[in-house]
Every structure is written in structure tokens, then in C-alpha cells.
Amino acid sequence: MSEDLLVKHCSPTLAGLKTGNLFNCACSSEKEAVNFVNTYNKILSKKGIKLILLNYSNNRALLYLYRKNKLKSDLSTPYAEFLLRMQGYNSIDVESCIAQLKRRVKTSREFPHEIGLFLGYPPEDVYGFICNKGACSKCTGCWKVYGDEKEALKKFAKFKKCSRIYYLKWKQGFSLEKLTVSA
């Protein structure tokens, strides 16, 4: 596990463009994953960002980096609240929702598709994915698009450019703390 992975996979969240990012990485133990999370939360929490371990299995850690204020805003829309309730969530409180998501990741046979809401995907695209079982999308980029294709394509380009620039800056010696935009 390395800082390199955070910059490579989470630049749009670090830059404040996106609610959250998810990434999977090799890890020798759950303790190592927890230590990694704790280390980076000391740096990132000052900027309104949190890193959590969603799941650990077979020497792989599934990590979720998010901006709490953006997530709170995203989950409080009527459409997002409807989708969460449809998936069995009892509350739209951020901590409760994340705890429920962690349970669903660990116990569900399928990956919980409502996770798109936690990543900042438009609710209509999350709903479209769930209803169509991933088929019949208008286009695919960071997610499958069922709603506003034009807007999604703009976001995909923005996220890709951000990731490229952030990784280049990080390779040039910019620290994670310097690259991370405050909430």
C-alpha cells in the first residue's frame, strides 16, 4: 500500500471535484490496511476528507476516500434518499449509511450498486444501472450513464485531466497534503 495509490486513484476527490473514490489494493494483513487508513486520515481529515477500509479479504483491501460534506449533500437529495431506502437503508445520516454500506459490501452476494451514490454519481445513473442490471447505458466512463450523457462526458474528461495532472505533480514532489484541496 502506498501514497502513490491514493494519488493515482483518488485525485478527483483530493481536488474537490468528486464526492468519493474507491480503490482495491494488495495488502499483507488487515492490520496493515488499518494502519494505512489511520496514517492518511491524520493528513486528510484536516482537509475534510476521510479514508475508510470498506472490506478486507484475501490479502486485498477495499478503500473508500470521501468528502464528508459532499457526501452528506449528495445523500440528502430526494432521489438519493429514495434509492437508499429502496436498498434497505434506514437513515440518510452519513455515518449510518457508511456502516450499512460496509455491511452490504461484506455480506451481499452482489456488489451493492448504490455505492455509486457514495462516489458522487448522479442518482438517475445509479437507478438506471440497478434497474437495467448494467445493460442499455447511453455511454460508459467512470460509471455507466443512463441520464445526462453530455454532462457525464464533461465530468469524465475533467476527472481524467485532474488525475493526469495530480499524478504528474505528485511525481514532481508535491506532497499529498499540498495537492489536497480543503473542504
Residue keyed to cell 484536516:
46
Nearby residues of 89 by Cβ (< 8 Å), 6 or more positions away: 96, 97, 100, 114
60 in Cβ contact with 24 (< 8 Å)? yes
Residue 4, pLDDT > 80, answer yes
Predicted local distance difference test score (pLDDT) of residue 26: 95
Residue 64, pLDDT > 90, answer yes
Predicted local distance difference test score (pLDDT) of residue 106: 93
Residue 36, pLDDT > 80, answer yes
- What value does the mean pLDDT take over residues 168-172? 97
- What value does the mean pLDDT take over residues 15-30? 97
Beta bridge partners of 49: 67
d(CA 125, CA 135) in angstroms, rounded, equals: 12
d(CA 152, CA 145) in angstroms, rounded, equals: 7
The residue extents of the domains of the chain are 3-174
Helices 149-171 and 3-14 meet at what angle, rounded to 10? 140
Residues in the chain, overall count: 183
Mean pLDDT of the chain: 96
What pTM, to 2 d.p., does this model score? 0.96
Tens digit of each residue's pLDDT (9 = 90 or more) over 76-119: 999 999 999 999 999 989 999 999 999 999 998 889 999 999 99
| Phi, psi of 78, deg, nearest 5 | -55, -40
- 18 pLDDT band, cuts 50/70/90, is very high
117 in Cβ contact with 74 (< 8 Å)? yes
